[in-house]
Each structure stands twice: as C-alpha cells, then as structure tokens.
Amino acid sequence: MNTTVLAGSRFNAGKMWKTLPFVLIACISFAQPGLAEEREKMLRTLTVTGRGMESIPTTLSLVNLGVEVQGKTAQDVQQEAARRSSAVVALLKSRNVDKLETTGIRLNPVYSYNNNVQRITGYAATNTVSFRIPIEKAGTLLDEAVKVGATQINSVSFVASDSAIAQAQKQALRKATQEAQQQADAVFASLGFKSKEIVSIQVNNANAPTPPPIAYSRSAKLEAQDASTPVVGGEQEVDASVTLQISY
C-alpha cells in the first residue's frame, strides 16, 4: 500500500515538472502585453504643475499680551503678577474670546552691576496669554485689558476664520488643477499630440500661512487711554499646487 502511494507521488511530481514550463510560458505570454502597454504609458507622459492662489479678508485678531511686575522680593512680585493676570483672564473670559491659553510664566532676578560686581536688586515676574477675537472688537478689549492690569501687548496678527480658509483652500485647488490642465493642453497642441488619460495626480498642501504679527516695542507699553486703540485687518492668501502626469 505504501509503495503504491509513493510511486503515484513520484509519477505526479514528474508530470508536474514536465507541464510547469508550458504554464509559465502561457502566463508570461498573457502578462507581457499588459506590461508593455503599462511601460509605454509611463514613457509617453507629460508632467505639469499648476498653482492656485486665493485672497480672503481677515476677520480675526490673534493677540498675545501679558502682565509684568517688578519688586524687591520674589514672593511679592509673583503674587502681584498672579493677581493682575487673574483679572486680565477674567476679563477675557467675560468677553468670550476664542482659544484663550497661557503662553508663558516667568520669574527672573533683576541684577545690577557695580565695579564689575553682580548683585540681585529685585525680581521681575511676567505672565502672558494669547487669544483670538473678531477684529472689530480687538481695540476696545485691548484698552480694557490695560485698565485691569495688562502692561504688555507683545503681538497682534490677523487671520481669516477656519471656514473661510477651508473654502479658500478648495478654490485654490480648483485654480491649480485648471492651470495644470491648461498647460498640458497648450503643450499638446503645439506638438500635435493628443492627451489620453491622467496617469497620476499629486496634490500639495493648500497652505494658509498666518500673516506676520505686528510687534509692539518694549518701550511702547500701553497705558489706559480714553480713545480706543485702532485695529485694522487686511487680507490672507491661501495657495495650492497640483501636479498632473498625462499620457499621450
């Protein structure tokens, strides 16, 4: 019984090795036309890149402001900075600012130098926060923040709303795609070729860089005034690029 099974196995294996080359040849024969067609498609391609840009008005102010206190002892300075910062934060929350967060808490010694000798004369504490608010409300809020204890306005920048940026990104991508297609059409027309199909599409990020902040110098710390601080926004640009690979 065992001998019969082994013999049968040797027979099937030998038969399989005889027929295997024919199977491989048949597979290669069927595969070669497809590979050749794909290779030709990749060799006869045009690659073009289009860019699109969309300008949108800014509607929000990004503000970074803070409280700085100087005094003789570290404890007194820190407590006073905490008190003023709490008042500023309470005001900001009452005005429903967006994305309010603490951006820095510092306590540093203040040194004096006499005859090349360094001596601690006091301490300086600084607490800073950042937030977002509609541009038309920013001036009044800055003045109110100064009245309750803010002593620094470090920077103000302007951005569009998230929904406006998202819509602008889509429009920038449409413009980039149209420009890439127009470039390809112009090249094919001048060379007498006809485009067949788009082989690949590469979409680069549609960026909306934040405009650079307007910095306030240290010597220009704000004091409470009756007039509201004017804050005027501008425009923000959103750009995108699309790369098309087109066979012909």
Q: What is the pLDDT of residues 134-148, one digit of tens each?
A: 999 999 999 999 999
Please give the C-alpha separations between residue 246 and each of 27, 104, 116, 220, 221, in angstroms, as whole numbers. 30, 52, 73, 58, 59
Rg of the chain (C-alpha set) = 35
Which DSSP string corresponds to 125-184? Answer: EEEEEEEEEEHHHHHHHHHHHHHHT--EEEEEEEE--HHHHHHHHHHHHHHHHHHHHHHH
Sheet harboring 235-247: ordered strands across? 45-57, 235-247, 197-203
pLDDT tens across 71-89, in order?
999 999 999 999 999 999 9
Task: Decide if pLDDT at 187 tops 60.
Answer: yes
The percentage of the chain sitting over the pLDDT mark of 70, rounded to a whole number, equals: 73
Instruction: Give the mean pLDDT of the chain.
Output: 83
Q: Which residues pair with 129 in a beta bridge?
A: 65, 102
Residue 88: predicted pLDDT: 97
Task: Decide if pLDDT at 60 tops 60.
Answer: yes
Instruction: Pick the closest to residue 66 from 112, 139, 126, 148 (CA basis).
Output: 126
Q: For residue 211, what pLDDT band results from cuts at 50, 70 and 90?
A: low
Question: Do 53 and 239 form a contact (C-beta atoms < 8 A)?
Answer: yes
- Which helix (H) or strand (E) segment holds residue 24: the answer is helix 2-43
Pair type for strands 60-71 and 152-159: antiparallel
Question: Do 125 and 107 form a contact (C-beta atoms < 8 A)?
Answer: yes
Q: What is the dihedral of CA 88, 89, 93, 99, to 10 degrees?
A: 120
Q: For residue 207, what pLDDT band results from cuts at 50, 70 and 90?
A: low
